[in-house]
Every structure is written in structure tokens, then in C-alpha cells.
Structure 1
Amino acid sequence: MGGVLALPGSAVYSAAKSGLRAFLTALSSELRDTGVAVSGIYPSGVDTRMLQHEALHGGSMLNFVGKVLSVEDVVRGYARAPRTRRLEIFLPYGDSLVSRAMAFAPALSHRALPLMERVGRLGHARYLKRKGLG
């Protein structure tokens, strides 16, 4: 979701992901009449070594606001892409609603960040416990 909502502490990451999202959108438009479909998969936090590192070394609590996905969850999203031919597939969809709403009004989203971080700290604690890391 880093390409949907730019978060503090993730400026470079968000910029790169936003660029990829813009590229996919433009490419989809360019290929519209060829029968080729382009899809982007936008997961929330995924249980990878990168997320585990962030969980243990001061990463953003915002990674833990929603459900932490398994790699298998993301693979299922990729498997859906050719069938749906949708430009954007959000995993989980509910997280995308919050992210897109916050991205719609960046000034307001800054006010919501403290609440989101508190929610994320609870999710972070659950994640560490589930993984036996905390």
C-alpha cells in the first residue's frame, strides 16, 4: 500500500511504489486496445523477513494496523489477476479503503496518524507474540 498512501519514515519507498503505480496505470491505458491486461497487486503488511526486521528494529507501526498477510495470501492475489483483469487488486480490500481515503485528504490524514499508530502498536504486539519474537 506504500504506493497508495505515503507514510512517515517511508518517503523513498512510497515514492518508488507510487511511481510503479503510475507506470502500471499508464501502461494499462497504452495497451487497452491490444487485449493485454495490466494489474498491480497492492498488499498491506506481508509477513516477510523485511517486516520481521522492521518489527524488531523500530519500523513503522503503521505496517501493523490491519491484518498482516502471509506470502500465500499475496500469491492468491496474483493468481486472481489474470482472471479478473482488474488494474488494481488490494489485499486486503478493507485496508485499501482506509488508505485511499487518507490519501484523498493528506492534511487530514496527518491528524489521523497518531490514532493509526496506536492501533498499529496493538497489532505489532499481536504480531510479535504470534511469531514468538516479543
Structure 2
Amino acid sequence: MSYDFRDKVIAVTGGAGGIGSALCHRFASAGAQCVVVDIDEARAGKVAGELPGGGHLGVGCDLMDWARVEQLFERIGTEYGRLDVLVNNAGMTSTERFDERGIPSIEKEIGLNLVSPLVTTRLAIGLLWASRDPRVISTVSLAGLFPQGETPVYCASKFGLRGAMLSIGLDLREKGILAGSVLPSATDTPMLRREAVEGGNSMQFLEQPQQPSDVVAAVVSMLDKPRLEAYPRPSESWSARLAMLVPNLLPKILPFFRKRGDRGMARYLEDLERRGLARRSGSRWELVHER
């Protein structure tokens, strides 16, 4: 059965980003009332104002500030009286290598990617119970299945979030709330573009990056058919899970793929240049400001 979005109240964290704004537009176009949550209040308000239909809300919220998160749900309660779907979509990564990272940056990435979705979900429980069909969906990553040597902190956060969401999905199902995750691979968003120009993990570019619309389709499929996990590219998930059957072979396997990933990253940067999103600056690349 197709999920009925009409008059549903859906909150999306990271709602002003590439995936988040695409989710909000898809939900609103089907009749939902969206709460666009983003650390950048102006961008959240802009996205909310551009959504079709009415009754949308843009809220600036630092998801690492628990008092602010509580205030967020108090405001949603005042405006709508319930929350039908919570989409934990906010996240971050860094191209700094592990042996060069500062401790605060490690704490920040783990906090935003892992701890904040758990706290946000916990604080939303009361409003979710006020819904007749409450749902929680978190954007995890294939990095929650497969290790990436260049981004161990990101992997740690996503491995943890995947396990937590599986457990939460089992626990809350008995209490009337359906929870699950989508696990996309590299997606063409400002975050990935920044990684590419800064020389991030080339293993993400073995295949052409997927589009935010692919992640949106996976989220909608989870609403249509609730389950614990969904993958925008199922073939990639099977490859990752197969490789993890023999993790001790990874040091021997990965070098065969790295050159392919390097070529894929070079093609992606050239594509960004053609689209006017990046440019060469000497021997380096830099992003072009997106209006």
C-alpha cells in the first residue's frame, strides 16, 4: 500500500541540506506538513517557504544542544499537537585523517551522527505517540556496513547508528512506533562535493554518486512498506556485506579498487566543473559558491 502523506506532520533534521530539502519537497508535494529543522535557521525558513502547500515550519536548531531539541518538540507540539514521522537526516564528515584529528572534532562528529539522532528520537517519543501511525527513519550510510580507512570516525558513528536503529526498531515496534533506516552510498550533495575537492575517500567513487532523489525514493519505500532497513542501491549493499564475511582480507582486496575509485573521483570533479560547482585552482580544486 502507498503511504498517505496528506495532513501528516513530518520533521526532517538537516532539512535544508541536499537530501533533507529533497525529502521535504517530496513530502510536501504529496500533502504533508513539513518541519524543516536545520542548524541554519535562515536556510530552514527559506526551504520551508518554498515548499508547496501550506502549514510548513522552518526551525533553526543545534541538535547537540538538548535544551534546544526539547524546545523544538515543544514548538511542534504547540503548532501541530503530534508528530507522525521523524526523519533523522542531519550528519557530517571530515576529510582529516585519523592521526591528524583533534579530539574535539572526533567528539563533534560522533555526537552529531550518532548521539543526536538517539536523543532526538527519545525526546520525540511523546509527540510520536500522539500519532495514529508514528514512524522514525534515520539516514545511516553504507559506511555503517563497510569500513572506510580514510574516515574511521564517520564509520564509527554510522556503524553505531545502524546497530542502534536496528535495536530501536525492534523495541519500539512492540510499543506502536515503526522505526528503520536507509543506507545510501555516496550521494551528490554539498557534503560530498566538499569531500571531493578536499581529496576525501576515493572509495566512495567506485560508482557514479547517486542523487538525493534516490535516497528520497528509499525513504518513501520504507513508508510504503515498513521494515528495518532499505538501500537505495541494493547491489552495493550486497557487495559490502559479502566483503565483510572475510574482513581479514580487506587489506588485500581494497588496493585493487582504489585506483578505480581515484578515477571515479576525477570524473566526479570534472562533472562538478562542467556544472559550475567546482573549479581548479592551480593543482587543487575548490568549490564554487552555490546560490
TM-score (normalizing by structure 2): 0.44
Instruction: Confirm or deny that 1:2 pairs with 2:139.
Output: no
* Residues 110, 21 of structure 1: alpha-carbon distance in 2 compared, 3 angstrom cutoff: same
Counterpart of 2:263 (choices 122, 127, 130) is 122
Counterpart of 2:223 (choices 64, 82, 85) is 82
AA at the equivalent of 2:255:
P
Alpha-carbon distance in structure 1 between the residues aligned to 2:251 and 2:183:
22
Instruction: Confirm or deny that 1:26 pairs with 2:172.
Output: no
Instruction: Point out the structure with max Rg over C-alpha.
Output: 2
Conserved 8 A contact 1:61-1:121: yes
Alpha-carbon distance in structure 1 between the residues aligned to 2:212 and 2:178:
23
Gaps of 5+ in 2: 1-141, 281-291
Tell me by how many angstroms 1:102 deviates. 1.8
Instruction: Confirm or deny that 1:72 pairs with 2:72.
Output: no
RMSD: 1.5
Instruction: Confirm or deny that 1:45 pairs with 2:190.
Output: no
Conserved 8 A contact 2:222-2:230: yes
Which residue number in structure 1 is paired with residue 94 of structure 2? none
Q: Which has the higher strand share?
A: 2
Instruction: Confirm or deny that 1:97 pairs with 2:238.
Output: yes
- Runs of 4+ more than 6 Å apart: none
Conserved 8 A contact 1:62-1:120: yes
Q: Which has the higher helix share?
A: 1
Tell me by how many angstroms 1:124 deviates. 1.2
Alpha-carbon distance in structure 2 between the residues aligned to 1:125 and 1:58:
10
Alpha-carbon distance in structure 1 between the residues aligned to 2:248 and 2:199:
25
Alpha-carbon distance in structure 1 between the residues aligned to 2:220 and 2:268:
26
The alignment partner of 2:143 has SS state of coil
TM-score (normalizing by structure 1): 0.91
Q: Which has the higher contact order (CA 8 A, sep 6+)?
A: 1
Conserved 8 A contact 1:66-1:95: no
Which residue number in structure 1 is paired with residue 287 of structure 2? none
AA at the equivalent of 2:154:
Y
Tell me by how many angstroms 1:53 deviates. 1.3
Gaps of 5+ in 1: none
Alpha-carbon distance in structure 1 between the residues aligned to 2:198 and 2:161:
27
Which residue number in structure 1 is paired with residue 156 of structure 2? 15
The alignment partner of 2:183 has SS state of strand
Identity, % of aligned pairs? 30
Count of residues in correspondence between the two structures: 134
The alignment partner of 1:12 has SS state of helix
